[in-house]
């Protein structure tokens, strides 16, 4: 039953590389509020008093199997958390950077990660500096607007990679992507015919009435996890399956009329 999986082997190799001592297949006894009473963890790190679980079945292709596996894993996590057991959970898509997951896990579990205060919050700092540059920009347009631009780029990067719980940036780790459903959504459009003067410049447009087309939107649920505080959240992702086949909505037609603006001269 306990033949080591490829994933477990990768975790073992990472622990060896990091020079961390471990005990494999470690039994945990006397669990409170858990019908099992005892469980077996994949690895135990005695120096840190931290366990490691590799969730190899998390992304099973078969829907039914995946659901069963995840239910089993979540039950285990709950049992550990009820008993104050510190554990690093590793998911299949993290296997190619498993060492860093382990290192950050040890850091996170070893000292409780507090949310950053507002004056240390990178996103707030970058917004404040951007506003400052904007206010000061009349002093020297080229330099300050350049700095402002760099700042705006930072704001975007920070907002995309931040954890909303502990406010740290570059904190987002991808855990899993699950198909949720296909939604039908109307897309409204009208066809525009643009008439051009003989020199190719714009004259006027004609529009058809509004039309509705029903498109299929594939919806995914992406589970993300903060590498610092372990906070988990879900992000929605949409993929429009019918966007590529949308009808053309703008046509151009050249007329024989001359452009009156150039004609007068
Ligand atoms: Zn966090």
Q: Where are the beta strands (DSSP E) in 10-123?
A: 23-28, 39-45, 50-54, 87-90
**Torsion region of 33: left, alpha or beta (phi above 0 gives left; psi -120 to 50 gives alpha):** left
> Tens of pLDDT along 199-238?
899 999 999 999 999 999 999 999 898 888 878 888 999 9
What is the distance between the alpha carbons of residues 179 and 235, in angstroms, rounded to a whole number? 12
Exposed (0-12), middle (13-18) or buried (19+): which is 74, by Cβ within 10 Å?
exposed
Is residue 105 within 8 Å of 53, Cβ to Cβ?
Answer: no
Mention every residue, 6+ apart, whose C-beta is less than 8 A from residue 74. Answer: none
Cα of 40 to ligand 1 centre, how many Å? 28
Q: Please, what's the b/e burial string for 182-196 (b: 16 or more CB within 10 A of its CB; e: otherwise)?
A: eeeeeeeeeeeeeeb
Cα of 114 to ligand 1 centre, how many Å? 9
Sheet containing strand 192-196, strands side by side: 202-207, 192-196, 250-254
* DSSP code for 119: G
pLDDT on residue 244: 94
pLDDT on residue 2: 54
Cα of 84 to ligand 1 centre, how many Å? 19
The encoded tokens of residue 73 equal 């894993």
Reference 192, options 151, 141, 252; nearest CA is: 252
What is the distance between the alpha carbons of residues 147 and 129, in angstroms, rounded to a whole number? 9
Cα of 72 to ligand 1 centre, how many Å? 25
* DSSP code for 185: E
Cα of 125 to ligand 1 centre, how many Å? 18
Cα of 198 to ligand 1 centre, how many Å? 61
Query: For 125-134, 149-158, 225-234, which range has the lowest pLDDT when averaged over its residues?
Result: 225-234
Q: Above 60 in pLDDT, residue 1?
A: no
Cα of 205 to ligand 1 centre, how many Å? 52
Residues 229-232: contacts with CB within 8 Å, 24+ apart?
229/108, 229/113, 229/115, 229/163, 229/165, 229/166, 229/168, 229/171, 230/108, 230/113, 231/163, 231/164, 231/165, 231/166, 232/175
Q: Above 70 in pLDDT, residue 264?
A: no
Q: Which residue has the tokens 């008439």?
A: 195
Q: Above 80 in pLDDT, residue 265?
A: no
């Amino acid at each position: 039953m306990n033949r080591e999986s490829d994933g477990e082997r990768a975790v073992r190799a990472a622990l060896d590389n990091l020079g961390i001592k471990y005990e494999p297949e470690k039994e945990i006894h006397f669990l409170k509020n858990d019908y099992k009473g005892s469980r077996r963890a994949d690895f135990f790190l005695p120096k840190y008093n931290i366990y490691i679980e590799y969730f190899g079945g998390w992304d099973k292709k078969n829907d039914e199997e995946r659901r069963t596996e995840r239910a089993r894993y979540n039950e285990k996590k709950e049992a550990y958390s009820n008993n104050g057991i510190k554990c690093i959970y590793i998911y299949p898509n993290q296997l190619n950077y498993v060492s860093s997951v382990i290192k950050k896990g040890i850091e996170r579990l070893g000292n409780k990660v507090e949310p950053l205060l507002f004056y240390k919050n990178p996103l707030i700092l970058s917004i404040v500096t951007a506003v400052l540059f904007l206010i000061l920009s009349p002093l020297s347009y080229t330099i300050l607007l350049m700095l402002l631009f760099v700042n705006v780029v930072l704001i975007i990067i920070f907002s995309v990679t931040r954890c909303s719980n502990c406010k740290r940036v570059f904190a987002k780790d991808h855990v899993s992507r699950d198909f949720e459903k296909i939604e039908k959504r109307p897309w409204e459009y009208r066809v525009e015919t643009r008439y051009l003067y003989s020199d190719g410049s714009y004259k006027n447009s004609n529009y058809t009435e509004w039309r509705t087309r029903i498109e299929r939107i594939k919806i995914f649920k992406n589970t993300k996890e903060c590498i610092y505080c372990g906070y988990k959240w879900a992000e929605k992702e949409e993929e429009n399956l019918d966007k590529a086949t949308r009808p053309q909505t703008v046509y151009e037609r050249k007329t024989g009329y001359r452009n009156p603006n150039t004609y007068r001269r």
